[in-house]
């Protein structure tokens, strides 16, 4: 008799814990497959310390194959689930496609950035959900401080060293607290010519910092932030974001090059395509994390609306603490469905929360006991070391080195702004040039269709490295070719095109064929994520919006939009605004400079 096949979609807190517990419970009596776009589990609570230069990226990323030796890892993103056919369709990182059959399915796809309908946010803000975003923010903040220090104009200096964080929840509070310490340390070693200092702002429509936590934790965090000079503005948010700054809801304008979006998360859109009952985007499950009417399907983590048995009528919140516990109970119930052990209902006991504010400062309430100061800092770091499934010694060593040595404030430029769009179905994966175009199956029995990559849905939006994190350039007519490749590297590897040839940066690029992209509707068994075309996005092409319906999410792309930069030896293929004659060609370490527009819109770039 063949062994039962268990497929787990997602390796976040819930998915990773499910795989690890199932591996122990089944004792090699089941085939366990873990489908995830990356080969690591990311310990999200320490991500602000990566952006602040305290921890190296690999410290908070735990190897899946190294810690789950009896689990088969498949790299890819689920883009279609056929519940009746018991199969999961996925696409790999290099364009390959595959199908995973299952007898038991665990949905633990996690969450993505929540984007509110605020003008300009999608173009000019930067999220904070994955390693690529943290690495980009670290480089960007470092660069802005260095450019501000060299600026002679006080207005430019003030804009570059002003950093706006929207969302005073767990993530936003820690980003602002660590960011203020990081930039202050830079300025102490290299004072600015104008005598100015970095300015951090924390905005939220809530009446207090950390509104979802105990009020005593909120007061402690707010006091520490204000002591560090963070401008905390409650009851205020962003009304409009532009390239040069933000307009706040109180009517004031803040000149800035940095807008960090930490307003919250929403469930991964994958579950919308299943046609099953949802609760605010989350899949409804019972107390044993089973999907009603589908005894072979389980869901846990941020994509599952799990009943809170301690508070009837409510659902457990979308926190890492709950997701980690969901994973254990889900694994026990999956094993019980195979005849191993017994079923359990999910119940939790609030163990309290910890908020790391940098240095020796923290706010914590372990077991309901409020703490602050160095004692809270020790409890917070002890909790993180105990909760991490690996890398504990390396993390502790980095903390020790940070306490006795200055931080290395350097910008490596490995992650460009266009590779970490705010609106992305996969914030944990950076968009990189050179990935082949992939054709997608539109659904069972529907033949083949081309699909658009949601991570590159804003195809053709190239952002200057001096723009706000995640900020995009202004629109250009859809057929207009891009002028400069990010980083100044001439990209010629287009689908069906000739391989790139070495040439000076100032030389015009040869004419490229336009790549083709089109959309597909997501339904049960319908692909969710689409292929990426080679080359970084061209500037100016707008991303198609997602529209939710009863059958799932429909995404489309403008088929006339270019998939990459197109230049002819004699000039651009289509007419459009040209850069000024005295503009230098982009170099390998900085983005293109400002481009004067002829369509009446604001100039692009800020260098």
Mean pLDDT of 446-471: 35
pLDDT at 475 over 60: no
Mean pLDDT of 247-264: 95
pLDDT at 575 over 50: no
Interval 12-71: pLDDT, tens? 999 999 999 999 999 889 999 999 999 999 999 999 999 999 999 999 999 999 999 999
Interval 377-387: pLDDT, tens? 999 999 999 99
Phi/psi zone of residue 339: left (φ > 0), alpha (ψ -120 to 50 degrees), beta? left
- Find the angle CA(557)-CA(558)-CA(563) to the nearest 5 degrees: 85
Query: Tell me, what's the pLDDT at 418?
Result: 87
- Sheet of 304-305: strands edge to edge? 278-279, 282-284, 304-305
pLDDT band at 434 (very low <50, low <70, confident <90, very high): low
pLDDT band at 452 (very low <50, low <70, confident <90, very high): very low
What is the pTM for the complete model shown?
0.73
pLDDT at 133 over 50: yes
Phi/psi zone of residue 245: left (φ > 0), alpha (ψ -120 to 50 degrees), beta? left
Query: Tell me, what's the pLDDT at 1?
Result: 56
Are 563 and 515 spatial neighbours (Cβ–Cβ below 8 Å)?
yes
Mean pLDDT of 294-322: 94
User: By C-alpha distance, which of 484, 512, 518 is closest to 498?
Assistant: 512
Mean pLDDT of 165-170: 95
Mean pLDDT of 576-590: 42
Mean pLDDT of 198-214: 93
Phi/psi zone of residue 487: left (φ > 0), alpha (ψ -120 to 50 degrees), beta? left
């Amino acid at each position: 008799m063949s062994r039962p096949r268990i497929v787990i979609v997602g390796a976040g807190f819930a998915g990773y814990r499910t795989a690890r517990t199932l591996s122990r419970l089944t004792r090699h009596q089941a085939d366990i497959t873990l489908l995830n776009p990356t080969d690591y589990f990311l310990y999200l609570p320490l991500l602000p310390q990566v952006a602040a230069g305290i921890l190296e990226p690999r410290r908070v990323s735990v190897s899946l194959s190294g810690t789950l030796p009896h689990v088969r890892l498949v790299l890819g993103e689920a883009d279609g689930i056929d519940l009746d056919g018991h199969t999961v369709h996925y696409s790999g990182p290099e364009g390959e496609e595959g199908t995973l059959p299952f007898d038991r399915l665990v949905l633990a796809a996690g969450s993505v950035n929540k984007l509110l309908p605020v003008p300009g946010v999608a173009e000019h803000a930067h999220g904070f959900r994955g390693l690529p975003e943290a690495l980009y923010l670290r480089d960007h903040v470092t660069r802005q401080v260095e450019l501000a220090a060299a600026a002679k104009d006080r207005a430019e200096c003030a804009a570059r060293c002003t950093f706006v964080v929207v969302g005073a929840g767990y993530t936003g509070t820690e980003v602002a607290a660590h960011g203020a310490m990081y930039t202050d340390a830079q300025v102490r070693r290299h004072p600015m010519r104008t005598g100015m200092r970095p300015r951090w702002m924390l905005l939220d429509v809530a009446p207090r910092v950390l509104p979802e936590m105990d009020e005593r934790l909120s007061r402690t965090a707010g006091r520490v932030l204000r002591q560090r000079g963070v401008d905390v503005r409650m009851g205020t948010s962003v009304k409009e974001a532009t390239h040069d700054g933000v307009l706040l809801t109180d009517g004031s304008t803040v000149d800035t090059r940095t807008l960090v979006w930490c307003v919250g998360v929403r469930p991964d859109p994958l579950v919308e395509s299943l046609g099953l009952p949802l609760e605010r985007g989350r899949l409804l499950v019972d107390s044993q994390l089973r999907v009603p009417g589908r005894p072979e399907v389980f869901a846990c983590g941020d994509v599952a609306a799990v009943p809170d048995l301690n508070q009837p009528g409510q659902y457990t919140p979308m926190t890492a603490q709950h997701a980690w516990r969901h994973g254990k109970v889900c694994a026990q119930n999956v094993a019980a469905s195979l005849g191993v052990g017994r079923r359990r209902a999910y119940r939790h006991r609030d163990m309290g929360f910890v908020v790391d504010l940098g240095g020796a400062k923290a706010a914590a309430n372990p077991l309901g006991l409020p703490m602050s100061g160095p004692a809270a800092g020790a409890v917070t770091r002890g909790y993180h070391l105990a909760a991490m499934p690996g890398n504990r010694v390396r993390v502790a060593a980095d903390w020790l080195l940070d306490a006795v040595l200055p931080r290395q404030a350097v910008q490596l430029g490995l992650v460009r702004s266009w590779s970490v769009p705010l609106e992305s179905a996969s914030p944990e994966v950076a968009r990189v040039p050179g990935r082949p175009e992939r054709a997608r199956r539109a659904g069972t029995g529907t033949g083949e269709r081309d699909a658009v990559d949601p991570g590159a849905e804003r195809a053709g939006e190239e952002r200057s490295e001096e723009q706000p994190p995640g900020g995009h350039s202004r629109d250009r007519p859809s057929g207009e070719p891009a002028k400069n490749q990010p980083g100044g590297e001439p990209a010629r590897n287009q689908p069906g095109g000739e391989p790139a040839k070495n040439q000076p940066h100032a030389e015009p690029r040869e004419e490229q064929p336009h790549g083709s992209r089109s959309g597909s509707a997501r339904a049960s068994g319908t692909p969710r994520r689409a292929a990426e075309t080679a080359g970084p996005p061209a500037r100016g092409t707008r991303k198609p919006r997602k529209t939710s319906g009863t059958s799932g999410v429909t995404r489309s792309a403008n088929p006339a939009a270019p998939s990459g930069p197109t230049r002819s030896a004699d000039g651009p293929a289509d007419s459009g605004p040209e850069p000024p004659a005295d503009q230098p060609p982009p170099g390998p370490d900085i983005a293109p400079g400002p481009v004067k527009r002829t369509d009446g819109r604001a100039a692009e770039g800020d260098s």
